[in-house]
Structure 1
């Protein structure tokens, strides 16, 4: 029979306070570091959700045409585009997604990669723009911070991991503890700190799972995690079906090297080689024939067609549509017209399908307008969470100090949290490493530097 002493409830209370303060302190530091990145992700992500609508309105002059009779052959369109930029060569042709859409030709030349928008009915060049200057490309690159270099892109990857930490710790802090307000309701008025605290907590609680979803489904695009995750999946038979390439000669290029856009699962898949022996006795089939073959094989309208750059290259048709059932990549021998590789969404392993589905929902493409509005609402919730966090902190911070939540009374509470951090670091190394550095700084440096200890209190 055990004896319960009066000290035991006090010990439990102290442990509870220590855990709460430790998580609150983590939540504060993580939020302080990533608020600018989260705001960037939310604003640029909101724009990218409506890229098709933006293209059809703001940039209608290059994307929208008036149907007028028979469309020109693909080779003719590619030749017109190449003539518009002297010294260039067509490297890819985008089949119009509908009768009112322009054809888009990607060119390579001294000026770099260019996009030429051509009216497929009369051959009029509608616009010429650098591929890296196209609006949606710029928005996407700013979204990932890849626009500002590799180091900046790593920061956005770290921010994505921190977003997951913020959701998990935020749910813990929000969890009802006998309080009547701040759970599903907002107390007070904008002049009071409790109003901003409750608005922050309630917003995070209701949108937390969706924010977590956006963070984890954005990881496949990250420079370090995404690349390594793709390689790991492929190595363990969970990515693209490597057996399809067993009997096909492969080049040193991968799909993303030759196409403007492809599915995440296959972007690192090797590009096969055309039968070079046939080059001695056969002529290339040409772009028109390659487009015809892709259509005959059931490729939905709007696909991109990579054009061979040398005698060993292949024609590659790829479609990355709103409807994942139509996602498909076909590599076609440039001499025989034989499909060397034909892979669609239905052939992906289960985990590969799940990742592609997550990416599609992340971009607002899976359920039409509902998906767009749901993701937009999540982006707005992120903005609101960031704003309320700043206002809440500003109202509670002491004069001359940063207003960091106090350290836990019992430092032993960090032992369990270190284990959780280690597990997270294995799953998301860049973010995990940043968290380790953050905690080490807090527990080692801050404790022994009086100036920092005073400011970070």
Structure 2
């Protein structure tokens, strides 16, 4: 009798393990179905964007590169702006300091007939080299594809869904990773004609790149449509959106920094101060003096100066180099040149610092070339992971069927897994909504299969 009881317990344990495996496999399949097409696109565009500076310097070399002239003083910023406006009449709103001795200056001009243009000027001769639409470079197009901005603001919500399901994909994939076999664990068996080759390729690639998928998903979340926006408001929405310790005892406008200048994630909610001198009919200091002040303050070369367009506006100097410690934003009173607010990466709180570090690493900037090469290898591996999953599924699926893995015999196992997944859905609302939608589609699929079998 005792042997019979032990046998039943063994069968029960084996069945429970089998049911859990089926439930995990089923949701791994659904996560793949939902996420892999986006991961494929994100990996391609992300891998290209890692080398944005190098690519743009080559593609737009006629605009972005000049012959360095050591010992020759640069033309005054106001002279460069005047040259740009002579060719493209309008209102100059931004001046970008040349980052290196062989880089051109960039003047952003608002025109009536051509919209916003970036005019490239030789900083030594003030010669206009040409112009492109604002955010019209090749890398800006790649960036907009990567962030799905080309498809509207609502499409950005897919970033959050993709990130959440990518993490689910990795977690379930680790559980499904083969352990009780010698081949297909860290080696690939067979040839591309056989399904085992693609299964092993998928398993080996997945276990090697899983960490990077989770890292890129988490560090990409700040750009997501719902979660990223709400966390940004929560983290930076108080005290005018400035980090603790930054003096804000100056008149503030209703304009946010993110609306007038490219800024860091931590400062998107920061409001722009006002120049108090406008009430006393003072004379503006002008761009040349503002640039001289930013130089004296030691802003990293390549900083951007946003010029005031209103009587109470300010000169804003901002720079976000690869070195996080050199990030800085300075607002100057346009009449006295007095710094109203001066902040840097050191002023961010713990959350801001960690998120900025993650974003910088995500962009391939934090650790230089090594950062770029490692993430490029991860992107290539993600493409291979997605391709091997598609081929493996195509070879496995029955004719005329989607090939959804079977339901577990014990539905309680499935319910426990759903409860665990629901926790992630609460933390990431859009992921939760997509989870509910997928559950509904799964039930419809099961019901349709039953009706066909009758």
Q: Same fold (TM over 0.5)?
A: yes
Q: How many residue pairs were aligned?
A: 447
Query: How far, CA to CA, are the matches of 1:294 and 1:56 in structure 2?
Result: 25
Deviation of 1:378 after TM superposition, in Å, equals 0.6
The alpha carbon displacement at 1:83 in A equals 2.2
Instruction: Give how far 1:448 is off.
Output: 2.4
Query: Which residue does 1:217 correspond to in 2?
Result: 219
| Distance (whole Å) between structure 1 residues aligned to residue 314 and residue 20 of structure 2 | 59
1:90 pairs with 2:92 = yes
What is the rounded CA distance, in whole Å, between the counterparts of 2:20 and 2:296 in structure 1?
Answer: 63
Residue in 2 aligned with 1:419? 419
User: Aligned residue for 1:252?
Assistant: 254
Per-residue deviation, residues 36-81 of structure 1 (Å, max 9, x unmatched):
2111101111111001111221211111111232111111112222
| 1:403 and 2:403 are equivalent in the alignment | yes
Distance of 1:352 and 1:28 partners within structure 2: 35
The answer as to 2:95 corresponding to 1:79 is no
CA, structure 1 residues 80+188, in 2 after alignment: closer, same or farther (shift >3 Å)?
same
- The alignment status of 1:7 with 2:8, answered yes or no, reads yes
| CA contact 1:234–1:242 (8 Å) conserved in 2 | no
Task: Choose the corresponding residue for 1:137, options 132, 137, 140.
Answer: 140
In 2 relative to 1, CA 174–330 (structure 1 residues): closer, same or farther, beyond 3 Å?
A: same
| Cα pair 2:219 2:355 within 8 Å, conserved | yes
- Length-normalised TM-score, structure 2: 0.94
Q: CA deviation at 1:354?
A: 0.9
Taking the aligned partners of 1:453 and 1:436, their CA distance within structure 2 comes to 25
Shift of 1:411: 1.2
Deviation (angstroms), 1:278:
4.1
Which whole-Å deviations, capped at 9, do the CAs of 1:129-148 have from their partners, x for residues lacking one?
11132211111000011111
Flag structure 2 segments of 5+ consecutive residues without an equivalent.
Answer: none
Q: Residues 421 and 436 of structure 1 are in contact (CA less than 8 Å); yes or no, is this contact kept in structure 2?
A: no
What are the equivalent positions in structure 2 for 1:263-342 lying under 5 Å apart? 263-275=264-276, 277-342=277-342
Distance 2:373 2:437 in 1: 37
Distance 1:12 1:336 in 2: 78
1:362-403: per-residue Cα shift (whole Å, max 9, x none)? 111111111000010010011000110011011111111111
Contact 1:447 1:453 in 2 (8 A): no
Query: Distance in 2 between the 1:5 and 1:214 partners?
Result: 47
SS of the residue corresponding to residue 132 of structure 2 reads strand
Q: Deviations over 1:198-224 (max 9, x none)?
A: 110110101100111111111111222
- For structure 1, the 5+ residue unaligned runs are none
Report SS of the residue matched to 2:265: coil
Q: Secondary structure at the match of 1:244?
A: coil
1:7 shift after superposition: 2.0
SS of match in other structure, 2:108: strand
Q: Residues 29-178 of structure 1 correspond to what in structure 2 (within 5 A)?
A: 29-68=30-69, 69-86=72-89, 88-110=90-112, 111-174=114-177, 176=179, 178=180
Q: Is the 8 A contact 1:314 1:334 kept in 2?
A: yes
**4+ runs of 1 displaced by more than 3 Å?**
2-5, 450-454
Q: For 2:278 and 2:412, locate their aligned partners in 1 and report how far apart those are by CA, in whole Å.
A: 72
Pairwise CA distance, 1:150:
2.0
Shift of 1:188: 1.6
Question: Helix, strand or coil for the counterpart of 2:309?
Answer: coil
- 198, 201, 219: which one pairs with 2:200? 198
Alignment correspondent of 1:184: 186
Cα distance in 1 between the residues matched to 2:397 and 2:371: 39
Counterpart residue number, 2:27: 26
SS at structure 2 position matched to 1:129: strand
**Alpha-carbon distance in structure 2 between the residues aligned to 1:203 and 1:122:** 53
Aligned to 2:446: 447
Question: Which residue is equivalent to 2:233?
Answer: 231
In the alignment, the residues of structure 1 paired with residue 160 and residue 64 of structure 2 have an alpha-carbon distance, to the nearest angstrom, of: 33
Per-residue deviation, 1:236: 7.5
- Aligned with 1:196: secondary structure? helix
CA-CA distance at 1:22 after TM superposition: 1.1
Query: Tell me, what secondary structure is at the counterpart of 1:317?
Result: strand
RMSD: 1.9
Pick which of 133-142 and 155-164 moved more.
Answer: 155-164
